[in-house]
Amino acid sequence: MATLRAIPAGESIEFARLKAILQATDGNLGSHIATLEGAGYITVSKDFVGKKPRTRVALTRSGRKAFAQHIEFLRTILDAAASRHE
Partner 1 sequence: MVRAMVFSPQDAAGALRDIEAAQARSAKLHGYARSAPQLLLWGVLWVIGYGLNDFFPAYSGAIWGAVVPIGLIAGFAALRGTGHDIGWCYGAVALTLIAFFAAVFLVLWPINPRQQAALIPLGVAAAYVIIGIWRGPRYVATGIAVAALTLTGFFLLKQHFFLWMAGVGGASLILAGIWLKRA
Nearer to partner 1, 81 or 86 (CB): 81
CA distances from 34 to 3, 7, 22, 65, 83 (A): 16, 19, 16, 19, 39
Q: List contacts with partner 1 (CB under 8 A).
A: 2-14, 17, 20-21, 49, 56, 58, 66-67, 69-71, 73-75, 77-78, 80-81
- Minimal distance, residue 38 CB to partner 1, in Å: 14
Minimal distance, residue 26 CB to partner 1, in Å: 18
CA 19 to chain centre: 12
Least gap, CB of 5 to partner 1 (angstroms) = 6
Torsion angle, alpha carbons of 5, 9, 10, 12, to 10? -20
